[in-house]
Amino acid sequence: MIDRETVDRIYAAANIVDIIGDFVTLRRKGVNYTACCPFHNEKTPSFIVSPAKGVYKCFGCGKGGNAVTFLMEHENMTYPEALKTVAKRYGIEVKERELTPEEERRNDDRESMFALNGWAAGYFADYLQKQPEGMSVGMSYFRQTRGMTDATIRKFGLGFCPAKGDRMSKDALEAGYKREFLLATGLSLQRESDGSLYDRFRDRVIFPVHNISGRIVAFGGRTLRTDKQVAKYQNSPESEIYSKKRELYGLYFAKKAIQQHEYAILVEGYTDVISMHQAGVENVVSSSGTSLTTDQIRLLSRFTKNITVIYDGDSAGIHASLRGIDMILKEGMNVRVVLLPEPEDPDSFARSHTAAEVQEYIRSNEQDFLAFKARLLLKDAEGDPIRKAALIGDMVQSIAQIPDPIQRSVYIKECGRIMDIDERILISEVARKRLASTGDRETDEFLRRQTARQRAEAPQPAPAAQPSVEFVSQIEAGSSIEALERELVKYLLKYGHAGFEFKEGRTMVACNVAEVIFAELDADSLTFRNPLYNQILDTYRTQWRQLGTGVEVPAHHFLNHPDPEVCNLSVDILTSDDNYVPSQLWQRKEIHVESDAEMLAVGVPKAVTLYRSKIIEGLIKELQAKLTGELTEEDEAALVQRLAALNQAKVTIARKLQRLIL
């Protein structure tokens, strides 16, 4: 049996259009798709697929269901087989086995938590609309301060939690809901003094958070007090039914409009979404004030590949939030940006304009992400060549995230035009970034053609003497951090100035040993743990920056180092006798012996990637150990989020290592 949580993840990930589209030719018709039914013969299409609802229905033969039941019917699969097929498509691990009593209890607990949240949402809404305190405080805020109509308040299920500290908790217990679920959902907190319960959202207006299927998974509460010591917003904690990185506020209400308009608008907060909906612009979602996550982007991609991000006119966090744009690009989606006039935000702008005016403003003022980024950052870089170079690097970083090679080539051209820089330089830099971050080897005809032209036009220098690679790397996945640091120092001291070529598709990208090592280490802000190796690293970096790429750093900087221990270690590395001498027998038998450049092309990326992997594994173990200790709720949530990011990085590096080894 597959546990309920995994089943929920499978259903949440399943894109019914993609799955049915593998077997049937679907044609878009409004917000739905049509086709001739695969279950009976017909000439006029009566088979309808609704992405917003996640269902299909044939009005000819009457068959209908969801993505999983379609596979069961069409492919004659059992329910577990269909679930596993969908899970495999979306990279969800399924461990099929008999559920233990503990797991059955956990599934029952999840349903109990959903039931409690449903009750709480109704409780908060009734208190807002029927109790004097709710009407005088909460309803006054929604109607007068935010300009919301009663229809909007009902649509989003807005509510109010009593100011009396434990009233909701007591009423829930009286209604038969268990104490353990009040604590598990975060609706209630427990006093340390006597263990009694009190309300997390006391004296706050309430915003229920719905998942994609409309079930309430969490709540957000806003205080109306002016006391700055009180947190403005209080949100439900992570739980068995709620992971904030996987939910988008308003998506349940917006998914139909998103498909109809073929793009989604991304804003920051609850009221931004609600006011835009009330104004008639319903294809709007929010990350609920948290940083945008990959899971949220993938959830949105089920309904559209186009996202328009709206920034406040006076937002001070635009620079920091630009990272979200790179994440959207990495998932293969198209991004446009709208900057509202100061001091407007989406909430105030929607309340002071009609739907037609809001839509027209978006159409007239939305910019491509590249143009927006350039215009925003050039203000800071004006007249400063160093800052301009950093800006170009920032733009290259964004372009490198785009998985589609044709789109990348178009943006490279546009970046070259905007920044007045040689397009061929940008091609090379984008290729390096992709190589360093993903190990991408896809065929890119445009890149190949441009790189070939660059080589043909470049003056041919006299051949430079390349060092002979004197050792075969002995490092493997199980090597210690100490061994990996020594290996990287050895590459720097002996071959830091050497070049090698890395094949990307049919294109050879020129690389430099030192440049690759520093780029990889800087990607994660890593320094060596062994202080002696770290001193060599810092000394080499300083000299390398002064001399330039491809110029050999003189050995005397290390052999005559002020620190005797560094000097001794450098001597040991530079005079190590782990020589690699190809057998004369191999040469006589015409067995291929790798060239120096070929060995560097394998050894350097492998060594630095293994090192990053080892460091990340260590960090994961440290954080897992911390999780076993006593932590505050906020600290635990931060640790879990950091662990998730590290585990994702670990997976990416593992894939890259597999490609390098193969």
Specify whether the CB–CB gap between 430 and 409 falls below 8 A.
no
The stretch 19-30 carries a mean pLDDT of: 84
Which of 361-365, 396-400, 425-429 ranks highest by mean pLDDT?
A: 361-365
Residue 469 in domain: no
More confident call, 121 vs 453: 121
What are the CA-CA distances from residue 521 to residues 83, 444, 492 (Å)? Answer: 41, 27, 13
Specify whether the CB–CB gap between 392 and 421 falls below 8 A.
yes
Helix intervals (H) in 366-439: 369-381, 385-401, 405-419, 423-438
Same-domain check for residues 57 and 152:
no
Residue 159 in domain: yes
The stretch 138-156 carries a mean pLDDT of: 94
Element (H, E) at 83: helix 79-89
Residue 507 in domain: yes
Which of 127-141, 319-333, 399-413 ranks highest by mean pLDDT?
A: 127-141
Dump the DSSP string for 590-625.
Answer: T-----HHHHHHHHHHHHHHHHHHHHHHHHHHHHHH
Same-domain check for residues 182 and 311:
no
Of 89, 119, 137, which residue sits at a domain end? 89
Residue 95 in domain: no
Dump the DSSP string for 481-542.
Answer: HHHHHHHHHHHHHHHTT-EEEEEETTEEEEEEHHHHHHHHHHHTT---SSHHHHHHHHHHHH
User: How far, in whole angstroms, is CA 430 from its chain's centroid?
Assistant: 20
The average confidence (pLDDT) of the chain is 81
Q: What is the SS3 assignment for 35?
A: strand
Same-domain check for residues 225 and 300:
no
Parent domain of 132: 101-242
pLDDT of residue 443: 34
d(CA 120, CA 188): 11
Q: How do residues 329-387 score in pLDDT, each as one tens digit?
A: 888 889 999 988 888 889 999 999 888 899 899 989 998 888 888 877 777 667 677 87
Q: Given a cut of 70, is residue 146 above it in pLDDT? A: yes
Residue 371 in domain: no
Specify whether the CB–CB gap between 512 and 547 falls below 8 A.
no
pLDDT of residue 161: 96
Same-domain check for residues 514 and 593:
yes
Of 68, 89, 110, which residue sits at a domain end? 89
Same-domain check for residues 149 and 265:
no
- DSSP 8-state symbol, 135: I
Query: 136: domain CATH number?
Result: 3.90.980.10
Residue 467 in domain: no
Specify whether the CB–CB gap between 474 and 597 falls below 8 A.
no
The residues with which 249 forms a beta bridge, in sequence order, are 286
pLDDT of residue 560: 67
Q: How much of the chain exceeds pLDDT 70, in percent?
A: 83
Burial of 598 (0-12, 13-18, 19+ CB in 10 A): middle
Same-domain check for residues 447 and 572:
no
Half-sphere exposure of 365 (CA within 13 A, CB side): 14
The stretch 260-264 carries a mean pLDDT of: 88
Q: How do residues 51-89 score in pLDDT, each as one tens digit?
A: 877 888 888 888 888 888 888 887 767 788 888 888 888
Provide the token pair at 133.
């305190």
Same-domain check for residues 141 and 184:
yes
What are the CA-CA distances from residue 122 to residues 154, 173, 209, 321 (Å)? Answer: 11, 15, 13, 35
Closest CA to 623 of 609, 608, 637: 637
Residue 431 has φ and ψ, to the nearest 5°, of -60, -40
Same-domain check for residues 129 and 220:
yes
pLDDT of residue 102: 79
d(CA 83, CA 103): 19
Same-domain check for residues 219 and 281:
no
The stretch 650-661 carries a mean pLDDT of: 66
Residue 547 in domain: yes
Same-domain check for residues 485 and 621:
yes
Q: What is the SS3 assignment for 44?
A: coil
Q: Given a cut of 50, is residue 461 above it in pLDDT? A: no
Specify whether the CB–CB gap between 441 and 660 falls below 8 A.
no
Same-domain check for residues 527 and 655:
yes
Residue 462 in domain: no
Same-domain check for residues 265 and 380:
no
Q: Given a cut of 70, is residue 584 above it in pLDDT? A: no
Query: 56: domain CATH number?
Result: 3.90.580.10
Q: What is the pTM of this model?
A: 0.59
d(CA 189, CA 183): 6
Structural domain count, the chain:
5
d(CA 27, CA 21): 10
Of 242, 263, 297, which residue sits at a domain end? 242
The stretch 241-250 carries a mean pLDDT of: 90
What are the CA-CA distances from residue 431 to residues 391, 408, 427, 449, 503 (Å)? Answer: 18, 10, 6, 13, 10
pLDDT of residue 658: 60
pLDDT of residue 130: 93
Query: 317: domain CATH number?
Result: 3.40.1360.10
Q: How do residues 294-314 score in pLDDT, each as one tens digit?
A: 889 988 887 788 999 998 765
Q: Given a cut of 60, is residue 446 above it in pLDDT? A: no
> Which amino acid appears at position 314 of this protein?
D
pLDDT of residue 564: 65
